[in-house]
Amino acid sequence: MLQHIEKLKNIATAPERLIIGLMSGTSLDGLDIALCRITGNGKSAVLRCEEFTTIGYSKELKSAIQQVFAKQSVSLDSLCLLNAQIGHLHGEMINQALLNWQIRNDSVDLIASHGQTIYHRPSSLHQIKSQPNSTLQIGDGDHIAASTGIITVSDFRQKHIAHGGEGAPLAIYGDYLLLSSEQEHRTLLNIGGIANITYLPSNASFDNVICSDVGPGNTLMDALARAYGDYDFDKDAAIAKQGSVNESLLTQLLQHPFIKLPLPKTTGPETFNLDWFTSQLKAVHLEDISVPSQMATLNAFTAHSIVNTIKQLPEFSTVYISGGGIHNPLLLENISELLARPVFSTNKLGVDADAKEAILFAVIANECVAGNERAFLSNKRNQPNVSMGKVSFPS
Ligand SMILES: Nc1ncnc2c1ncn2[C@@H]1O[C@H](COP(=O)(O)OP(=O)(O)OP(=O)(O)O)[C@@H](O)[C@H]1O
Ligand SMILES: CC(=O)N[C@H]1[C@@H]2OC[C@@H](O2)[C@@H](O)[C@@H]1O[C@H](C)C(=O)O
């Protein structure tokens, strides 16, 4: 309808926008909601995160998602129901957050919704020459728009794939616009379920930025914690601290072919999961080592795969960390020790480490609506210069 297009045009041409960025990642812990005020666009965009919250998922929802998450065969019935259910639920969670913050829905310009990744299948994994990269996120944007009354931009990864990318990591776009520096080379490391890096040399042109997944973040440790007992994750590394690293197992884990693939590359729990870990324990006849020692070894493996990647980057850089992994003290200690230098939180750069991914999707939606083709120019490493996201109007 013309009135919707006119409203969108007014939002796009206004000097600033109030955008809610959403992220629900591979850890399935809940929905991150960041309320961002963004002035301008492209390299001159200025972002202030005014509110942030995470609304946890119920046990029932986690288990329903786990049944379809990263599985080659799933019930189509469950998948179809979840697509609508998650969209609607995310809308309700936003309404709740806005109520708590005492902010009216009609003062928010846009919602930027990542959705829930269910399956990620880059061609490096499926290896079918005639098929493109592919990825699937659910939680339909129309449901979010309808239940909040706010225009919703969603499903950001498909355009990236349609133009030859792997659909991830998309962090490069927001990191480049918000966190590039003239003074220092920076590596932004996000440790969610999967860990990824953005390398931003000082005064970088988009072409010189490197962004890639590096391997598991918390996903293997979370899976082991869930299998070990009634834990969602190894809180404060309490389990790992009771064990010790098994060097033969660590060497075996580091043989995974993904670790040796050149950058950029993407992965997910389709590759790094408990079945794979169990097969590796069997391969080195170490099924009997204690769970704490398994956890300590997974913690070290995660740190080694991250640091191996950082060491491949062209220049020495300052490392700024975000994502839930920042709360795992042993993981940070391992990373810092292997790098032989201190690491920092993105909080030091003014970006809340827990909110960063949700913020980045607000930036991508801002570019989709108000940006122009000059923001990203070309990047030879499969990072197309395209607008990402689909627009859902509330009615
Ligand atoms: N106190 C803590 N101790 C150890 N680990 C923690 C702690 N708090 C959070 N975590 C880890 O952080 C994870 C959640 O991280 P985050 O929300 O960044 O992941 P995500 O966004 O779902 O993942 P991705 O970025 O891969 O999509 C938890 O599953 C847990 O492993
Ligand atoms: C397919 C998918 O959802 N990938 C996620 C996941 O979580 C971390 C890592 O794997 C990253 O590639 C990506 O998310 C972030 C937000 C990204 O696109 O930058």
Cβ-proximal residues to 367 (8 Å cutoff; 6+ apart), any chain: 41, 42, 173, 177, 375, 387, 388
- Decide if pLDDT at 373 tops 90: no
108 and 21 inside one domain: yes
283 and 376 inside one domain: no
For range 123-128, the mean pLDDT: 86
Distance in angstroms (rounded) separating the CA atoms of residues 300 and 41: 40
128 and 160 inside one domain: yes
Structure tokens at 215: 């391997």
Residue 114 has a pLDDT of 98
Structure tokens at 87: 């969209």
Going by CA atoms, what residue is nearest to atom 12 of ligand 2? 169
Going by CA atoms, what residue is nearest to atom 10 of ligand 1? 324
Q: Is residue 176 part of a domain?
A: no
CA of 90 relative to ligand 2 center, distance in Å: 19
312 and 331 inside one domain: yes
- pLDDT: which is higher, 87 or 229: 87
Q: Is residue 50 part of a domain?
A: yes
CA of 387 relative to ligand 2 center, distance in Å: 18
Task: Please provide the distance, in angstroms rounded to a whole number, between the alpha carbons at the two ends of the chain.
Answer: 9
Q: What are phi and psi of 103, to 5 degrees?
A: -120, 135
Q: Is residue 272 part of a domain?
A: yes
Q: In what order do the strands lie in the sheet with 318-322?
A: 210-216, 194-200, 186-191, 318-322, 344-345
Residue 215 region, left (φ>0) first, then alpha (ψ -120 to 50), else beta? left
201 and 157 inside one domain: no
> pLDDT by residue (tens digit) across 317-326?
999 999 999 9
**CB of 120 sitting under 6 A from ligand 2:** yes
Going by CA atoms, what residue is nearest to atom 15 of ligand 2? 169
Q: Measuring CA to CA, how many Å separate 186 from each of 28, 51, 141, 320, 321?
A: 28, 26, 34, 7, 11
Average pLDDT score over the chain: 96
Relative to the CA of 232, which ligand 1 atom is closest?
29
257 and 330 inside one domain: yes
156 and 296 inside one domain: no
For range 102-112, the mean pLDDT: 98
Residue 64 has a pLDDT of 96
266, 271, 302, 361, best to mutate for ligand 2 pocket (most atoms within 8 Å of CB)? 266
- Decide if pLDDT at 382 tops 80: no
Binding-site sequence positions for ATP: 25-32
Relative to the CA of 195, which ligand 1 atom is closest?
26
pLDDT-based confidence at 381, cuts 50/70/90?
confident
Residue 380 has a pLDDT of 77
Residue 303 has a pLDDT of 98
Going by CA atoms, what residue is nearest to atom 6 of ligand 2? 194
Distance in angstroms (rounded) separating the CA atoms of residues 125 and 148: 37
- pLDDT: which is higher, 375 or 343: 343
CA of 7 relative to ligand 2 center, distance in Å: 31
68: domain CATH number is 3.30.420.40
166 and 190 inside one domain: no
Cβ-proximal residues to 150 (8 Å cutoff; 6+ apart), any chain: 20, 94, 105, 108, 109, 110, 111, 144, 394
Determine whether 191 is exposed, middle or buried from the number of CB atoms within 10 Å of its CB (0-12, 13-18, 19+): buried
Distance in angstroms (rounded) separating the CA atoms of residues 154 and 177: 20
**CB of 324 sitting under 6 A from ligand 2:** no
Going by CA atoms, what residue is nearest to atom 12 of ligand 1? 324
Residue 20 pairs in a beta bridge with 35, 111
Domain total in the chain: 2
Q: Is residue 151 part of a domain?
A: yes
For range 67-71, the mean pLDDT: 95
CA of 389 relative to ligand 2 center, distance in Å: 15
Q: Residue 52 in contact with residue 354, Cβ under 8 Å?
A: yes
- Decide if pLDDT at 349 tops 80: yes
Relative to the CA of 236, which ligand 1 atom is closest?
3
Structure tokens at 91: 């809308």
Relative to the CA of 171, which ligand 2 atom is closest?
19
Q: What is the pTM of this model?
A: 0.97
22, 23, 24, 26, best to mutate for ligand 2 pocket (most atoms within 8 Å of CB)? 26
The helix or strand, by DSSP H or E, that contains position 152, with its residue range, turns out to be strand 151-154
DSSP letters of 7-55? HHHHHHHSSEEEEEEEEE-TT--EEEEEEEEEES-GGG-EEEEEEEEEE
Q: Which structural domain range is residue 216 located in?
A: 181-349
pLDDT-based confidence at 305, cuts 50/70/90?
very high
153 and 192 inside one domain: no
- Is the ipTM value over 0.90, yes or no? yes
Distance in angstroms (rounded) separating the CA atoms of residues 6 and 233: 47
Distance in angstroms (rounded) separating the CA atoms of residues 353 and 324: 8
CA of 142 relative to ligand 2 center, distance in Å: 22
> pLDDT by residue (tens digit) across 209-234?
999 999 999 999 999 999 998 899 99
Residue 375 has a pLDDT of 87
143 and 205 inside one domain: no
Q: Residue 188 in contact with residue 209, Cβ under 8 Å?
A: no
Q: Is residue 297 part of a domain?
A: yes
345 and 376 inside one domain: no
For range 34-62, the mean pLDDT: 97
pLDDT-based confidence at 361, cuts 50/70/90?
very high
Distance in angstroms (rounded) separating the CA atoms of residues 61 and 81: 12
Q: Is 272 helix (H, G, I), strand (E, B) or coil?
A: coil
313 and 368 inside one domain: no
- Amino acid type, 165: G
**CB of 196 sitting under 6 A from ligand 2:** yes
Q: Is residue 16 part of a domain?
A: yes
Q: Is residue 175 part of a domain?
A: no
Q: Is residue 19 part of a domain?
A: yes
